[in-house]
Amino acid sequence: MKPKTQQRRLRRFRTAEQLESCIRPKWDDIPLLISPAAALLSSQTHAFLKNIPVLQFDVKNQRIFLRRTKYNDIHQEDLFIGNRVNVFSRQLHLIDYGDQYTANKLGSKKERTLALIKPDVVTKIGDILELIYSSNLIVTKAKMTKLTWSQAADFYTEHQGKPFFNNLVQFMSSGPVVAMELMGDEAMSIWRGLLGTSDPAVARREAPQSVRAQFGTDGIKNVGHGSDSPAAAARETEFFFPSTIGHGPSNTAAFTDCTCCIIKPHAISEGLAGKILNSISAAGFEISALQMFNMDRVNAEEFYEVYNGIVTEYPNMVTELCSGPCMALEIHGTDAPKTFREFCGPADPEIARHLRPTTLRALYGKDKVKNAVHCTDLPEDSVLEVGGACACCALHTLKRHP
């Protein structure tokens, strides 16, 4: 479609009183325009934040693909380039803004930065995630990894030659770290503000609620790192989440004495990931690997294949698993498949709340489909599921950077 023709058609979705955002997704290689009624300049803005009316337009065939209808499971914070969302069981990959208006209104609020959690506080990742979510930032990528000495030196190359360089590199390669890409309005300054000044002793005096004040030890063991410029954010994010498959630091999955846990998309969307990680750690389980990824429908069907024909909720379980980003965890410990499955609780959160009220599904689940977490049911499948989740993570990286 010619740009001017496309713009004329887009005007039909708008009035002088209500301007709508318009994003360009793809579904099965069909180019669409999706017009969520964000009503950014109208009094209806807040009314539509939780229940966004959605309209889809088939650009290639010049026709309405989906008439305007309310859809409860899309939120405004889900609408960013690169994300995948589900609309009536169709997984849409958001590839571009539909017009300059949307790029100006939404793109300006989508600053990205790298947040790196250092080895001394990886066990506090749940607390740190809760602070991030409470600051209206979105975690778009996350990975636990173990840096080699060479990788740590490359990441901190700007400090080479400084007195603390060797100690810093030695510390950063001494244990696992968690890298995250954060997104939001002024994400860079908000994350650096959450961290506080680089010296934890000073932070405890000047900003006692900051992360470094709470968990930091000294100028090297100071909890985390945050990008200090857009160029640095782009370089550092590329370092941990490279555009070329097979490059960059690998995940920390050990595939021994372990089981698989996946925090489901609804729990990620509701900002529950930090609370769930805290509950897992408080129960004495070790999180030995962590990575966020999006699962497509084919992989979700294969992952849940054992439930096909056995569990009546199977189709909805598949739809939920590919409805947004998941967080895959490798849980390590003695007899982990059995003990962690018990800790997750019954698949039905209502039953869990009556019989086992302290389990994960009792605390964070909503129903038998949106029950917060998936865990391995059969001990013999534990390593297989961890491997399957890791394979999906690698596939997601490949799809994100075609």
Given a contact cutoff of 8 angstroms between Cβ atoms, the answer to whether 354 and 296 are in contact is: no
CB 178 within 8 A of CB 144: yes
Backbone phi, psi, residue 243, to 5°: -80, -10
What Cα–Cα distance (Å) separates residue 378 from each residue in 182, 259, 267, 341, 352?
35, 10, 23, 9, 20
Instruction: With beta carbons less than 8 A apart as the criterion, state whether 341 and 320 touch.
Output: no
Residue 247 is a catalytic residue: no
Determine which one of 75, 159, 225, 247 is catalytic: 225
Q: How far apart are CA 221 and CA 156, in angstroms?
A: 15
Q: What is each CA distance from 23 to 31, 95, 232, 373, in whole angstroms?
A: 11, 8, 28, 30
Lateral strand order in the sheet of 325-332: 224-226, 111-117, 177-184, 138-145, 286-294, 325-332, 258-263, 373-375
Q: Which helix (H) or strand (E) holds 327?
A: strand 325-332
Distance CA 366, CA 279 (A): 17
DSSP 8-state secondary structure symbol assigned to residue 162? S
- Cα separation of 387 and 31, whole Å? 33
> At residue 250, what is the residue type?
S
C-beta of residue 86 within 8 angstroms of C-beta of residue 73: yes
Give catalytic residues, as residue numbers: 225
